[in-house]
Amino acid sequence: MIKIAVVGTGNVGRFAITNALAEEDVELVGVITRKKHDLGIAGTENIQIAEDITALDVKPDVAVLCIPTRAVPETAEKCLNAGISTVDCFDIHGKIVDLRAQLDKAAKANGRVAVTASGWDPGSDSIVRTLMQAAAPKGLTYTNFGPGMSMGHSVAAKSKPAVRDALSMTIPLGTGVHRRMVYIEVEQGSTYEEAKEQILADDYFCHDETHVIAVDDINQLKDMGHGVHMIRKGVSGGTHNQILEFNMTINNPALTAQMMIASARAATRQNPGCYTLIEIPVVDYVQGEREDLVRKLV
């Protein structure tokens, strides 16, 4: 059994708890949260809740970090230094390589494994993009997200001092170009103009067309559905016009959580170090013996 602890009880964390309880080879040994209350999730009545992972009675093999992206570097390094492997859903694409180097050093120093940028994008989509490039080495791949709620962008918008709550919708415009529709409740004592300025200055939003819209109640707008359509048009050897497509319509936090649980399983099968999902054999994400999986899936 793979002993895991889920860190964080937001949207992804709650699905990670539920999904971990459903896995036959995973044992949930703790939940890390500052909220000292009943989780309200069936099957967690006897699961230990703590504010710090080192306070758990049973030391986990892997910490599944369901926390905001910008909290990942410090928290992951703390877990690794405590001798606990980690899985995170860090989603700032341009900073993944730097984080990977940082966590690789900590993981190897402590004989542990870190899996970074897990989830569906980055994550499972990264694996599909890699496979597409292998099939058609020359060409272009366009990743079109949505329409749907972006958790990372929503958290980033909500973190602004002038914002009480936020929902960021990703609208695909085609050829990998997106529009961000950011709906906000303005914090009391702040103005819409202040909130808009803070959001547009953030690295999550400053590279895309972004519209900030004030609303009365964010909860009336929330829908955790999302999706992706990837298309690659390329060349295999000397054969042109190879067109590859991949479509997925999902519940965003549920799939993110499932890929993180699968990554926790994979983490126990790797040598010490830090890995992105494309660096791990895909068979290692799946429950079962490798020979049996090869027989069934190949």
- Binding site per annotation, positions: 33-35, 66-69, 118-122, 170, 180, 226, 252
From CA 285, how far away is CA 175, in angstroms rounded? Answer: 30
The token duo for 69 is: 């992206």
DSSP 187: P
Pair 242, 135: CB distance under 8 Å: yes
Q: Please give the annotated binding residues for substrate, written as ranges.
A: 170, 180, 226, 252
From CA 263, how far away is CA 279, in angstroms rounded? Answer: 11
Per DSSP, the residues of 24-85 read TTEEEEEEE-S--S----TT-TTS-EESSGGG-SS--SEEEE-S-GGGHHHHHHHHHHTT-E
The token duo for 224 is: 């955790």
DSSP 136: S
Pair 92, 69: CB distance under 8 Å: yes
Please report, for residues 64, 145, 256, 288, the alpha-carbon distance to residue 89 in angstroms, rounded to integers and kept in the order given.
Answer: 9, 17, 8, 24
Give the DSSP H/E element, type plus range, for residue 295: helix 290-297
Q: Please give the annotated binding residues for NADP(+), written as ranges.
A: 33-35, 66-69, 118-122
Query: Dihedral of CA 9/11/12/17: which sign?
Result: positive
